[in-house]
Amino acid sequence: MLTFTATPLDRAVNLRGDDAQLRALQESGAARFVPVWSEKFPVNDARIVTLSAQAAMRWDQSNAVFLGLAGDVPWFALALPASEQAPALGGPESFLGLRDLAAVLEGDEAAIAAYALAMTIWRANHLHCGRCGAATVATEGGHSSTCSNAACAHRTFPRSDPVVITLITAGDKCLLGRQAAWPPGMYSCIAGFVEPGETLESAVRREAREETGLSIGEVRYVASQPWPFPASLMQGFRAEALTTELHPDGKELEDCRWFTKAEVRGFKERDSEGDGFKLPSRYAIARLLVEGWLAE
Amino acid sequence: MLTFTATPLDRAVNLRGDDAQLRALQESGAARFVPVWSEKFPVNDARIVTLSAQAAMRWDQSNAVFLGLAGDVPWFALALPASEQAPALGGPESFLGLRDLAAVLEGDEAAIAAYALAMTIWRANHLHCGRCGAATVATEGGHSSTCSNAACAHRTFPRSDPVVITLITAGDKCLLGRQAAWPPGMYSCIAGFVEPGETLESAVRREAREETGLSIGEVRYVASQPWPFPASLMQGFRAEALTTELHPDGKELEDCRWFTKAEVRGFKERDSEGDGFKLPSRYAIARLLVEGWLAE
């Protein structure tokens, strides 16, 4: 199963409107709080360190987000205040970012962490109303932000930015490209944000044209993955190119090439040492697209 | 082709960063401006009334959005200021909302209008920075909003809210439900917003369980459609139910039922007079999903 997708939580959406019950859950002995500090998680022995309600009381809980229920256990995300030094939680934990954690966490913890990270980033970016600038308050268990200016009262909801990411093929070859910021040698699929007024399929075609100069024929949806860096929803596609001449744009992509299956099978892992071509991360949907093609 | 998807525009993303060239395009004799007032468009004889650069100069153009190029013609969206009375543009036009227009406009005009509406609504909701509350300025031809507080400088991009909309089947029947706010008798597919930390497929399963009590087996993507009311990206799915007993939640859905193909073929158009079951709009993706199933 794709990383970040194996959630054990029932989101219990019906409870979000019930402030009294949410407060009772938040104060209950069963509650677990996932602390998020500076977009990082406290980790000990490859497990995220969670807090009890009693331990969580040290921090302002007005921005706590109700994530849902795992059986009888209510889960919350808790943003810890910005500070230069990582807060001390009382154990030997160290704070790590989710990209580093994705490789080591169990699937259910990775999914909870991705959800918690997305919600806390969203809240931090919506402390003020986009319409009038007044402060907002977290509402519906943290699943909406409401303007405190009664004359405005604009309400916003968490955003997910749809991204299309596409493995383009032509005959027996696939197209992979690389951004200058990536580790040397790493090549991956063509990706970009879907814009207002576009379908997913038109975004696939536009991104291919902009970044590689290719014309695209058939487009086929494969799978999706939440990607909270900071708010993406990756939507994986396969596409067949109608042309093969490449014109990498030199901005998004510094290079792109056609590769045979034999060539891609010779790629090394993303984080391996030395020169040569490298695959996208094991936990990224790009890897699923590439592996799916190799297996055909 | 689905309504709102037949765009004639090349978005010319590479021009967005070039302020001088954008200004030249905006002032050129070829430029066309789509006025948007109060989320409505000026219409005459089933065509949207567009403005020349000279006519558009009457209004503040700092929030004009560069939509792209149709051949050599640069297109812009232009939000007209809020006013009680519709502004006079000099012709016999009347202002209509996009839902009403969808049924009468040509495909390419409907697609441009959907894009223009999404961009102007987004801008109006991001006049202030969500992080610090300071005023923002429109940047990159209107495709980003940047905080004017130099110490913050937070930049945001247009949002599209991914929605899953699903035709659920079991054997030879399909499930349709209705919201209390819909026209009497109208039944449609099950829909809801994708949340942070979710895949499209898990959102399909969650919405089905929450709204109808059904468990879902196989899920299959069909098509997508921009739906700027105010910012949705509809993503159409087919799904097979593993159970058939229905428990409409009574909140999102006031009713849901299983229908045979013969029954659905007897449904009337959404806006027809009289009693009886009615179909979703001809221009909604729900209709495409229903028609696709009927044709099998």
Q: Do B158 and A195 touch (CB under 8 A)?
A: yes
Give the pLDDT score at A90.
84
Name which of A141-150, A153-162, B54-63, B163-172 the model is least confident about: B54-63
Give the pLDDT score at B90.
84
How many inter-chain contacts (A to B, CB under 8 Å) are there?
A: 153
Phi, psi of A260 (to 5 degrees): -85, 170
Distance CA B118, CA B139 (A): 16
Q: Do B199 and A223 touch (CB under 8 A)?
A: yes
Three-state SS string across B57-97, please? CCCCCCCCEEEEEECCEEEEEEECCCCCCCCCCCCCCEEEE
Q: Is 90 exceeded by the pLDDT of residue B220?
A: yes
Report residue A91's pLDDT band, with 50, 70 and 90 as the boundaries.
confident
Average pLDDT, stretch A241-260? 95
Give the pLDDT score at B103.
83
Q: Is 90 exceeded by the pLDDT of residue A16?
A: yes
Sort strands B136-139 and B144-147 into parallel, antiparallel or unpaired.
Answer: antiparallel
Q: Do B196 and A235 touch (CB under 8 A)?
A: no
What ipTM was assigned to the predicted interfaces of this complex? 0.96
- Among the partner-chain residues A132, A233, A251, the one whose CB lies closest to the CB of B194 is A233
Do the beta carbons of residue A48 and residue A105 sit within 8 Å? Answer: yes
Name which of A6-10, A89-93, A282-286 the model is least confident about: A89-93
Tokens of B104: 């009468």
Sort strands B32-36 and B73-79 into parallel, antiparallel or unpaired.
Answer: parallel
- Among the partner-chain residues A193, A224, A226, the one whose CB lies closest to the CB of B196 is A226
Give the pLDDT score at B137.
96
Average pLDDT, stretch B199-203? 98
Per residue in A106-131, pLDDT (tens digit) is 999 999 999 999 999 999 999 999 99
Q: Do B225 and A199 touch (CB under 8 A)?
A: yes
Nearest to B192 by CA among B176, B210, B180, B217: B210
Specify whether the backbone of A171 is left (phi greater than 0), alpha (psi in -120 to 50) or beta: left
Average pLDDT, stretch A54-78? 95
Distance CA B127, CA A112 (A): 33
Helix (H) or strand (E) holding B225: strand B216-227
Q: Is 90 exceeded by the pLDDT of residue A190?
A: yes
Nearest to B115 by CA among B188, B81, B82, B66: B66
Give the pLDDT score at A1.
81
| B 84-113 near A (Cβ less than 8 A) | 111-112
Q: Inform me whether the C-beta atom of residue A161 falls under 8 Å from chain B C-beta atoms.
A: yes
Sorted by sequence, the CB contacts under 8 Å of residue A9 that are 6+ apart come out as A67, A68, A69, A70, A75, A111, A112, A115
Average pLDDT, stretch A83-112? 92
Q: What is the mean pLDDT of chain A?
A: 96
CA angle B75–B76–B77, rounded 5-degree value:
135
Phi, psi of B82 (to 5 degrees): -60, 135
> E strands along B80-211, which residues?
94-97, 136-139, 144-147, 155-156, 161-170, 173-178, 190-193
**Which of B112, B115, B160 has the most A C-beta neighbours within 10 Å, making it the best mutation to test the interface with A?**
B160
Q: Do B119 and A221 touch (CB under 8 A)?
A: no
Report residue A195's pLDDT band, with 50, 70 and 90 as the boundaries.
very high
Give the pLDDT score at A95.
96
Q: Is B234 helix (H, G, I), strand (E, B) or coil?
A: strand
Hunting for tokens 């580790």 — which residue is that?
A183
Distance CA B150, CA A254 (A): 31
Tokens of A284: 């990224």
Q: Is B1 helix (H, G, I), strand (E, B) or coil?
A: coil
Give the pLDDT score at A161.
98
Give the pLDDT score at B91.
85
Report residue B216's pLDDT band, with 50, 70 and 90 as the boundaries.
very high
Q: Is 90 exceeded by the pLDDT of residue A294?
A: yes
Tokens of B190: 């099950």
Tokens of B25: 């395009």
- Among the partner-chain residues A2, A158, A197, the one whose CB lies closest to the CB of B226 is A197
Report residue A62's pLDDT band, with 50, 70 and 90 as the boundaries.
confident
Give the pLDDT score at B112.
97
Distance CA B67, CA A114 (A): 34
- Smallest Cα distance from A154 to chain B, Å: 9
Give the pLDDT score at A61.
87
- Smallest Cα distance from B274 to chain A, Å: 35
> E strands along chain A, which residues?
32-36, 40-44, 47-48, 65-70, 73-79, 94-97, 136-139, 144-147, 155-156, 161-170, 173-178, 190-193, 216-227, 232-241, 255-260
Residue B203's identity, in one-letter code, is: A
Report residue A64's pLDDT band, with 50, 70 and 90 as the boundaries.
very high
Give the pLDDT score at B163.
98
Q: Inform me whether the C-beta atom of residue B69 falls under 8 Å from chain A C-beta atoms.
A: no
Cβ-based contacts of B201 with chain A (< 8 Å): 223-224
Sorted by sequence, the CB contacts under 8 Å of residue A79 that are 6+ apart come out as A36, A37, A63, A64, A120, A123, A124
- Among the partner-chain residues B196, B201, B231, the one whose CB lies closest to the CB of A158 is B196
Q: Is 90 exceeded by the pLDDT of residue B138?
A: yes
Sorted by sequence, the CB contacts under 8 Å of residue B90 that are 6+ apart come out as B55
Q: What is the mean pLDDT of chain B?
A: 96
Tokens of B93: 């036009």
- Among the partner-chain residues B193, B198, B231, the one whose CB lies closest to the CB of A196 is B231
Q: What is the torsion angle, in degrees rounded to the nearest 10, for the CA atoms of residue B16, residue B225, residue B222 and residue A9?
A: 90
| A 221-280 near B (Cβ less than 8 A) | 221, 223-226, 228, 231, 233, 235, 249, 251
Distance CA B33, CA B60 (A): 13
Q: Do B197 and A233 touch (CB under 8 A)?
A: no
Tokens of B194: 């994708």
CA angle B194–B67–B57, rounded 5-degree value:
130
- Smallest Cα distance from A274 to chain B, Å: 35
Give the pLDDT score at B1.
81
Distance CA B11, CA B67 (A): 6
* Cα within 13 Å of Cα(A243), Cβ side: 11
Q: Inform me whether the C-beta atom of residue B115 falls under 8 Å from chain A C-beta atoms.
A: yes
Distance CA B240, CA B286 (A): 16
Give the pLDDT score at B157.
98
Do the beta carbons of residue A32 and residue A75 sit within 8 Å? Answer: yes
End-to-end CA distance of chain A: 19
